[in-house]
Chain A
C-alpha cells in the first residue's frame, strides 16, 4: 500500500450556525486520484478549500505528510498557525479553480513564474524555463507571452493548472475546473488532468463530469449534507451504489 499523504480526521466546518462539514474522516494515499461528487451544498468544495486553508475550520485536523495544516492542536486547545506558516503550507498543495483566477495583468508565463520567483525564490531565468516547460506540457508553449484576456477559457484553465503544478505540489486540488467552460473546451482541460494522473500526481477533483470521474479516478467519494456518504472504487460505486442517496444522485446526474 502506498504511503498516506493526506489524513483528515473529524473535520468540522461551520458558517455561524450552519454546519457545512459535519465530521469528515478520510485518508488519501500517494498517487491516488479521487473524484469528489455530490449535489451542490453537500460540502465538497468547502472540503477542498479547507485542505489548503482558503477556509478556516472549527474542528478536527488535516495533516499533509504528517504535518498538521493550519492549526496547532494540543489536547483541547487549537491555535491558528501564523500567516507565514500557512502560506508555506499552501504552497505544498496546488489548486485550480472553477473561474481560473489567472492574474489578468500578467502573461501566461508570468502567471506561472510568480510563485516560483516569490515563494520558491528561484532565479528568474530558471523560473521562466520551468514555466515554459509546463506551458508546453499543457499544450500552450506558443502562448507563453499571451495575456489571459487573449486566451480562450480552456486555454486559461490550462495555464492555471500549469501555474499550480509548476510549484511541484505534493497534492493537487481541482475545484470544478470545467464547470465554467463551453462544452467544446472541456475536453482539452480533462486531457491535461488525465496526463497528470498518468504521471502519478495525487489529486482530489471536485467534479460534475461523472464520465470523467469514472474513467480517471482511482477512487470516488460521494458527499451528502456535510458527510462522506460513500467511498470506494468507481466501478462498484457507479454500477452498484450501496446507498439510496448515491443511487438517486447518479440517476439525476448526467452519467448514464
Chain B
C-alpha cells in the first residue's frame, strides 16, 4: 500500500517545522538588519553631501543590479576566501540584509523626496531645527508613504531566503527537498512548501494593511 500523504506529513512534521522556523528567522533578521541599514542608505542618498551620495549611490546600484543568488554565493565563498569564516547561515543573512538595504534605501529616499518642499519651509518658519523638522514633520509623512513598498520588500526577502538552500542552509526549501528525496512525493511536498510560503507572505501583507489602516490620516 502506498504511504498516505498525511502519514508522510506527520512523519516529516519536525523537519518541516524546523525548516519553516529557520526561514522565518532568516527573513526576520534580514528584514530588520536590512531596514536599519537601508534607513541610513536612504538618509545618505537624500541628505548626504556630494561624496557620500556618490559612494552610497554606487553601492545601491551595484547591489540592486546583482542577482540575489550571486550575492548569496559571493557572501559565502568570497568571505571564506578572504579569511572571514562565516557559517552559511550568517553569510546568507548578510547577503539578504545587504540586498534588502539597497531596496529600503531607495524606498526611504523616494518617500522623503516626495514630500513637498513647503513642509520643510513651514517647519523652518516656526523655528524648528532640521532635526526636529525631520523627526516631527518629514519622517512621519515618509513612513506612511513608503509602508506599502516596504511590506513588498519584506515579502521579497522571504522568497529570496529560499536561495540560501544552495549554500546548505537547512531552511524550508532545502528541508522539503530532503523529505522528497526520501518519499519521492515531489508534487505534494513542493505544493505544501509553497502553501507555507504563501501563508507567511500573506501574513506580512495583512499586517502591512493593518498598520496602513491604523496610521492613515483622515481626509
Chain A residues within 8 Å of B, Cβ to Cβ: 52-54, 83-84, 87-88, 90-91, 93-95, 97, 99, 101-105, 114-115, 118-119, 147, 149-150, 160, 163-164, 167
Number of interface residues of B (CB under 8 A): 22
Binds A, one of B28-36, B96-104, B125-133, B203-211: B125-133
- B217 within 8 Å of A by Cβ? yes
Interface check B188, CB cutoff 8 A: no
Contact B217 A91 (CB under 8 A): no
Knowing A83-B129, A118-B132, the reply to whether A147 touches B118 (Cβ < 8 A) is no
Q: Is B9 part of the binding interface, using a Cβ–Cβ cutoff of 8 Å?
A: no
CB neighbours of B137 from chain A (8 A): 103, 114
B219 interface neighbour in A90, A94, A149, A163, Cβ under 8 Å: A149
Other-chain residue from B116, B122, B124, B128 in contact with A118 (beta carbon distance below 8 A): B128
Question: What are 11 A-B interface contacts by the 8 Å CB criterion?
Answer: A103-B137, A104-B141, A105-B144, A114-B123, A114-B136, A114-B137, A119-B127, A119-B132, A147-B218, A149-B219, A167-B126
Mark B residues whose CB is within 8 Å of A: 116, 118-119, 121-130, 132, 136-137, 140-141, 144, 217-219
Knowing that A91-B126, A118-B136, A150-B218 touch, tell me 15 more A-B residue pairs with CB under 8 angstroms. Answer: A52-B124, A53-B124, A83-B130, A87-B129, A88-B127, A93-B125, A95-B122, A97-B118, A114-B128, A115-B128, A118-B132, A119-B126, A147-B218, A164-B126, A167-B126
Pair A99/B136 contact, Cβ less than 8 Å: no
The prevalent SS among residues of B at the interface is helix
Q: How many Å lie between the Cα of A25 and that of B137 in the bound state? A: 35
- The CA-CA distance from A87 to B118 in the complex, in Å, is 16
- Please name all residues of chain A whose beta carbon is closer than 8 Å to the beta carbon of B144 when the two chains form the complex: 105
Taking a contact as CB atoms under 8 Å apart, the answer to whether B140 and A150 are in contact is no
By a CB distance below 8 angstroms, the chain A residues around B124 are: 52-54, 87, 90
Taking a contact as CB atoms under 8 Å apart, the answer to whether B126 and A150 are in contact is: no
Residue of A84, A90, A99, A105 near B126 (CB, 8 A) is A90
| A167 contacts across to B, CB distance below 8 A | 126-127
CB pair A149–B126 under 8 Å, yes or no, is no
Closest to B118 in A: A101
- Cβ–Cβ contact B140 & A105, under 8 A: yes
Taking the nearest CB of chain A, how far is it from the CB of B133, in angstroms? 9
Chain A residues, Cβ within 8 Å of B129:
83-84, 87
Closest to A145 in B: B218
Given A101-B118, A103-B119, A105-B144, also A95-B219 (CB < 8 A):
no
C-alpha spacing A103/B119, complex, angstroms: 7
Measured in the bound complex, the distance between the Cα atoms of B141 and A128 in whole Å is 22
Q: Given A54-B121, A97-B118, A103-B137, is A163 in contact with B126 using a C-beta cutoff of 8 Å?
A: yes
Indicate if the CB atoms of B126 and A114 lie closer than 8 Å.
Answer: yes
- Please give, as numbers and ranges, the residues of chain A lying within 8 Å of B125 by CB-CB distance: 52, 54, 90, 93-95, 97, 164
Bound-state CA distance A99–B120 (Å) is 13
| Contact A149 B218, beta carbon cutoff 8 Å | yes
Which 8 A-B pairs give the minimum distances between C-beta atoms?
A91-B127, A149-B219, A115-B126, A101-B122, A101-B118, A95-B125, A119-B127, A87-B129
- Given known A97-B121, A97-B122, A101-B122, contact A149–B217 (CB-CB < 8 A): yes
Q: Residues of B contacting A163 with CB < 8 Å?
A: 122, 126
Task: Give A192 to B217 CA distance when docked, in angstroms.
Answer: 27
